[in-house]
Amino acid sequence: MEKQCILKDGGEVIIRSSAAGDVDKSFAFFQNLSSEEKAYLRVDVTDRDIVARRLGNHGPIDIKRLVALVDDEIVADGAIELRSAGWESHIAELRLLVADTYQKKGLGMLMAEELYMLAAKEKVEEIIVKLMVPQTEARKIFARLGFHEDVVLKNYVKDVRGLKQDLLIMRCNLDALWKELESNFNEMDKLERH
């Protein structure tokens, strides 16, 4: 999958499936994240080997990864994690990160739309996101994307500093997400016409 998209500011971005050859670009993207953003990631992305293994997609979960590139540099990274069997086979987990310099330009929405399409192709009914409670900005973004806060597990996870954090699970029905996306894109179209 590869698609050229236009951001709110008129800039161009390529959204495509990630590839094993993206290790150096992916590593550079993660290194440029703020230390606060890195603190809440599941794995230590300061370790290049972990970043390489992450792109390898080994294990019981099928992971569909997308990246957004500007001038051959990754500026956003997203994934849909799918389980092909079992009691969670109708659910996918979404993960999405956008570089600070590309936030508020519509890139998160564009990436989310592509990830939703991947989930729909896999006949997913619900999408969840898992965040640590202090990630207030991410919570607001996912709320705008149609997710609602579902459950908080107290002291359930540790951040990369080793500090225990509450885990927040947000979720949304895929049909409701599509309606929210259509509404957001219609709003953006109205603003651009005026």
The pLDDT tens digits for 125-171 are 899 999 999 988 888 888 888 889 999 999 999 988 889 999 999 99
Question: Tokens representing 173?
Answer: 């029905």
Q: 72 with 106: CB under 8 angstroms?
A: no
Lowest mean pLDDT, pick from 57-66, 72-81, 117-126, 183-192:
183-192
Q: 92 with 122: CB under 8 angstroms?
A: yes
DSSP structural state of residue 84: S
Instruction: Give tens-digit pLDDT for 80-114.
Output: 998 777 788 889 999 999 998 998 898 988 998 89
Topology of domain 2-193, per CATH?
Aminopeptidase (3.40.630)
Tokens 């970043």 -> residue: 51
Strand partners, 103: none
* 154 class by beta-carbon count within 10 Å (0-12 exposed, 13-18 middle, 19+ buried): exposed
User: According to the model, what pLDDT value does residue 43 have?
Assistant: 81
DSSP structural state of residue 137: H
4 pLDDT above the threshold of 90: yes
Closest CA relative to residue 67, chosen from 24, 10, 125:
24
